[in-house]
A and B are shown apart, each in its own frame.
Chain A
Amino acid sequence: MSKISPKWMALCSAAIGLTYAAGYVVTEPKTAPVSAATQQVQLKGSTSKNDQQSSSSSSSSQASQSNTKKQANQSSSSSQTQSIYKDGSYSGEGMNRIGSVAVSVTIQKGKIERVQITDCTTSYPERLIDQLPQQVVSRQSSNVDNVSGATESTDNFKTAVMDALSKAKA
């Protein structure tokens, strides 16, 4: 059988490329604000964490690194508990190159009462991060343990919880 001619190859490749570009542009406005929002939330989260770590290290400079981390966790959870969340149910989404995770965070009497993964479209199964919602409730913080082998899914989950909590603060 004769092979497809180079002209046809170029034409088909160009048509597919253009359709892809059009699809990418059309779907871009939907994803851009979410990613921007999550980046902002991540930035906020990281700066507050740094602040807490620096304050704890200044108060006890001779403490070991593990102790410092523990203190940081405790202080972050206490600060988040002290901060006033409005009661209600809030949704958040975390997205990166492996997909997205959406969560629903329920606040009652200013505390995180329930966290639920509502959608998981990552390339990895949801069961890998199934234990994380419980950690958020028990720690009253989005600062959960990293799941080995599902680091990017964990990041998505953290971002989604922070996104929801930022809405609850507003």
Chain B
Amino acid sequence: MERLNSTIHREIRNEPETRMGRANRVPKKQKKSSFQKFIKSPKGIVFIILALLSYAGTFYPTGLSGLKNIVLAMGTGVLLDYVVAYVMNRPLRFSDGALITGLIIGGVLSPAVSWYYVMFTTIVALLSKHILKDKRKPLFNPAAVGLFISATLFSTGESWWSGLSMTPVWMTAILLVGGFIIVNRINKLPLVFSFLGTYMILFLILGILNISGAGDALRSPYINAALFMSFFMLSDPPTSPAKYREQVIFGFLAALASGAAYLYVSKLTYLLVGLFVANSLKALHSKLTQRNGIRRNALHSR
């Protein structure tokens, strides 16, 4: 206290600071704008990477028309989140999550899809985020829910053009670099490695067994879709596990379910089916872990 007082007095008298005083001085915090914070956060990085991929994805004849879908999906998402926040008496904030969901939906839906399907998909996606949740975390990846329901009900085309499925093959390198940056940043590499490893092995085996269509899954646009899905949807932090061991199991199950869906369900939604199965198992696992924890605590308290 005395030292503090002497420092204050010294400052008032404009006297030079002592060496110890300089060492103990707490650095002044630089105020960062909310935009700067957003850009440096994982969500901000995802946003930038997805925006760059969407831009790169427009380098094909009808690519530019996909951008209008992205703008429409983002606008619808932000507006809907505002409405939900207003109705639920929550503080009105700009929804960065809705921006990312919009970018994913606009980048997956075919540029030829009508505007009302884009809006429908986004609304379903964001409603699922607010309705299907455990505590504050959504159970399923919102974009995946919207895309799956939209594809099942209306057969809306999905070209995964933000996954650079329509551009020359060499551009897939951009997707790989962008995906690696974000997955490494959010520490989900084991999950993605597990998913992609299982996916590749599964379709290699199916190829050896001469199963029809196995080769397609290893070629564009399917492989681009699988990469995009694993980098930006499967690794979504609220809907995927954090521990490495659980990440490996999660990725493995998602790839197995995707493979089964590719063969027996639909080649349009097989990746989304795999993601749902893994999301459901993760939700089930965390519920069981919570219950066991509560029981253990109750036993200890006795």
Residues of chain A at the chain B interface (Cβ within 8 Å): 1, 3-4, 9, 12-13, 15-16, 19-20, 22-24, 26-28, 30-31, 97-100, 121, 123-128, 148-151
Q: What residues of chain B lie closer than 8 Å to A149, measured between beta carbons?
A: 62, 110-112, 157
**Nearest B-chain residue to A28, judged by Cβ:** B215
Centre residue among B112, B190, B223 by max chain A CB count within 10 A: B112
- Beyond A97-B165, A97-B220, 9 additional contacts (C-beta under 8 Å) are A1-B243, A4-B189, A9-B184, A20-B218, A27-B218, A28-B215, A100-B216, A121-B267, A124-B159
Contact of A1 with B187 at beta-carbon distance under 8 Å, contacts A19-B197, A27-B207, A124-B157 already known? yes
Decide: A19 and B165 in contact? CB cutoff 8 A.
no
A160: min CB distance to chain B, Å: 15
Of B21-29, B91-99, B198-206, B292-300, the stretch lying at the interface with chain A is B198-206
CA distance A161 to B190 in the complex (A): 45
Decide: A12 and B218 in contact? CB cutoff 8 A.
no
**Residue B284 lies at the interface, judged by CB distance under 8 Å to chain A:** no
Centre residue among B165, B204, B244 by max chain A CB count within 10 A: B204
Q: What residues of chain A lie closer than 8 Å to B210, measured between beta carbons?
A: 30
Contact of A15 with B218 at beta-carbon distance under 8 Å, contacts A26-B208, A125-B268 already known? no
CA distance A19 to B196 in the complex (A): 10
Q: What residues of chain A lie closer than 8 Å to B203, measured between beta carbons?
A: 23, 27
> When the two chains form the complex, which single residue of B184, B196, B197 contacts A3, counting CB atoms closer than 8 Å?
B184
CA distance A149 to B221 in the complex (A): 17
> When the two chains form the complex, which single residue of A12, A13, A19, A123 contacts B157, counting CB atoms closer than 8 Å?
A123
Q: What residues of chain B lie closer than 8 Å to A16, measured between beta carbons?
A: 193, 196-197, 200
CA distance A31 to B187 in the complex (A): 37
**Nearest B-chain residue to A149, judged by Cβ:** B112
CA distance A97 to B171 in the complex (A): 14
Decide: B197 and A123 in contact? CB cutoff 8 A.
no
Looking at chain B's contact residues, is the secondary structure mostly helix, strand, loop, or mixed? loop
Q: What residues of chain B lie closer than 8 Å to A23, measured between beta carbons?
A: 200, 203-204, 207, 214-215, 218
Centre residue among A19, A28, A30, A151 by max chain B CB count within 10 A: A19
**Residue B160 lies at the interface, judged by CB distance under 8 Å to chain A:** yes
11 A-B residue pairs with CB within 8 Å? A4-B244, A19-B204, A20-B200, A23-B215, A24-B219, A26-B207, A27-B215, A31-B215, A97-B165, A121-B213, A126-B155
Decide: B155 and A125 in contact? CB cutoff 8 A.
yes
**Residue B156 lies at the interface, judged by CB distance under 8 Å to chain A:** yes
Decide: A123 and B204 in contact? CB cutoff 8 A.
no
**Residue B272 lies at the interface, judged by CB distance under 8 Å to chain A:** no
9 closest cross-chain pairs (CB), A and B: A149-B112, A27-B215, A125-B155, A23-B204, A19-B200, A27-B207, A124-B157, A26-B207, A12-B193
> When the two chains form the complex, which single residue of A4, A19, A22, A123 contacts B110, counting CB atoms closer than 8 Å?
A123
Centre residue among A9, A13, A31, A97 by max chain B CB count within 10 A: A97
B153: min CB distance to chain A, Å: 11
Q: What residues of chain A lie closer than 8 Å to B208, measured between beta carbons?
A: 26
**Residue B81 lies at the interface, judged by CB distance under 8 Å to chain A:** no
CA distance A31 to B159 in the complex (A): 21
CA distance A124 to B207 in the complex (A): 24
Q: What residues of chain A lie closer than 8 Å to B223, measured between beta carbons?
A: 20
**Residue B242 lies at the interface, judged by CB distance under 8 Å to chain A:** yes
A149: min CB distance to chain B, Å: 3
